[in-house]
Amino acid sequence: MDSSVVLQIVFMVVLLCLSAFFSAAETAFSSLNHTRLKSMVLNGNKRAKRTLALYERYDELLSTVLVGNNIINIALASIGTVVFVGWIGGAGVPVSTAVITLFVLVFGEVSPKSLAKEAPESIAIAFTPILHGLMIVLKPINWLFSKWKQLLSRMVSIKDAQKLTQDELLTLVREAEKSGDMALDESTLVKSALEFSDVDVSDILTPRVNVDGIDISSTQQDVADAFDETGYSRLIIYKETLDHIVGVLHQKDFYAGIRKGNFSLEKALKKPAYVPETAMISDLLKLLQKTQSQLAIVSDDYGGTVGIVTMEDILEELVGEIWDEHDEIELPFQKMDDNTYHVLGSADAEEMLELLGFTSTTDMTTVGGWAMTQAGKVPKVGDTFTCENWDCMVLRGDRRHVLEIEMKRKHEPKSTQL
């Protein structure tokens, strides 16, 4: 074999390696995790710092990679054609096209890009010095391409699609959870934060029937007993009915006034914050911060009291149920066995229907309201009713509420073959 042909083959191999280099570089920088790279920089990785600086000039970098890759591939195809024509004459042109295309696809495109996809940060950091030098060499060409891009932008109106929507962010979080890059508790917190602004005050409030308050005409002993019985640090003070709330009494102010001997219920009250039930909890949080309050009164269109909502309710929407040492822990859903559940009347009705596989839906907010709708009355303790494939029995309740029910799955009759 002629020495010139050997040199041409060696040169083709070198060009194929360069094609692989540019392909891997393109995939590495387009696939790397920007946040992970920043974390490496913060941890003192100087090479990652140079890579991050290169990544922030992505348009110029991409132009360099594409120009270099195309020059290499064109040169490879041209030299390959010369070599094959020298070997087999006129038939060398189609043979060269087939062979060079195959080698470029396998060794210059698919293989390096697959490897770069597996470890984009490591490859990007390793390639940074070479790419930085090439960007300096190809700076005039990159400048021409940048001007061409500006001209295209003026000629063709392209909408900015760089901003991520909330749904896209949620999808990214779910994918990170599935891939193991994010722990379950972390993804739950992030999803709660993303959905935070979509939650109404009505979804988290304590309804009026469960609000513990005391009339302003009550004695000091009545107030002390109310604090002891409820275990709350704040009490709602009303005049005659909960529709006329006059203030909020803090336990600390109450006992401090008694110790000083000059306690006056009217003077100890704090002005309550009011919020409509249609408000978003993100707006409620701002209101509580502005008024330096821990709770707000939720009112309807007519000024009546719908319930109350506290700072703790808002935090629980983000991080889940918060229990303190005075709370009696009651889980909304307790699985007794494979076919039996105990459900609190205050539990979410839609959540229960979904959990137990009901096909029907309900307009009721709570399981207690759903139970009264199904029974057609306020059922007493021990009353039963049936819904779909479930037998339901009231375990706890009073004259106005259903506090807990038992859900027992009915066993389907076994089919018999004729």
Give the strand pairing for 213-215 and 241-250. unpaired
Task: Report how far residue 124's alpha carbon sits from residue 120's, in angstroms, rounded to the nearest whole number.
Answer: 6
Q: E strands within 284-381?
A: 295-299, 305-310, 333-337, 340-344
Rounded to whole angstroms, the Cα distance separating 200 from 307 reads: 13
CA–centroid distance for 285 within its chain: 19
List the single range of 66-70, 215-219, 263-267 with lowest mean pLDDT: 263-267
The pLDDT confidence band at residue 408, using thresholds 50, 70 and 90, is very high
**Burial classification of residue 19, based on how many CB atoms lie within 10 Å of its CB (0-12 exposed, 13-18 middle, 19 or more buried):** buried
b/e string for 313-350 if b means 16 or more Cβ within 10 A?
bbeebbeeeeeeeeeeeeebbeeeeeeebbbbbbbbbb
Output the six-digit token pair for 318.
């983000």
Lowest mean pLDDT among 32-46, 217-231, 323-337, 380-394: 323-337
What type of residue sits at position 86?
G
So what's the architecture of 333-409 in CATH? 2-Layer Sandwich (3.30)
- Tell me the sheet residues that pair with 238: 215, 245
What pLDDT is attached to residue 326? 54
Of the candidates 178, 249, 190, 179, the one whose C-alpha atom is nearest the C-alpha of residue 218 is 249
Is the pLDDT at 107 greater than 70? The verdict is yes
**In this predicted model, which residue has the larger pLDDT, 16 or 91?**
16
Do β-strands 305-310 and 295-299 pair in parallel, antiparallel, or remain unpaired?
antiparallel
Query: Given this model, what pLDDT does residue 414 score?
Result: 46
Rounded Cα gap, residues 418 and 405, in angstroms: 40
Task: Please work out, in degrees rounded to the nearest 5, the angle formed at the alpha carbon of residue 319 by the alpha carbons of 308 and 351.
Answer: 70
The first and second tokens of residue 179, run together, are 């891939």
pLDDT tens across 38-92, in order?
888 888 888 989 999 888 888 888 888 988 888 898 988 888 888 888 778 778 7
**Gap between the Cα atoms of 125 and 128, Å rounded:** 5
State pLDDT tens for residues 285-339.
Answer: 888 888 888 889 999 888 889 889 988 888 877 776 655 555 555 678 888 888 8
The closest of 327, 299, 322, 326 to 311, measured between CA atoms, is: 322
Residue 251 to residues 227, 236, 268, 291, Cα–Cα distance (Å): 7, 11, 10, 19
pLDDT, mean over the chain: 83
Residue with tokens 């990652």: 48
Dihedral sign, CA of 335, 336, 341, 345? negative
CATH number of this structure's domain 202-319 = 3.10.580.10
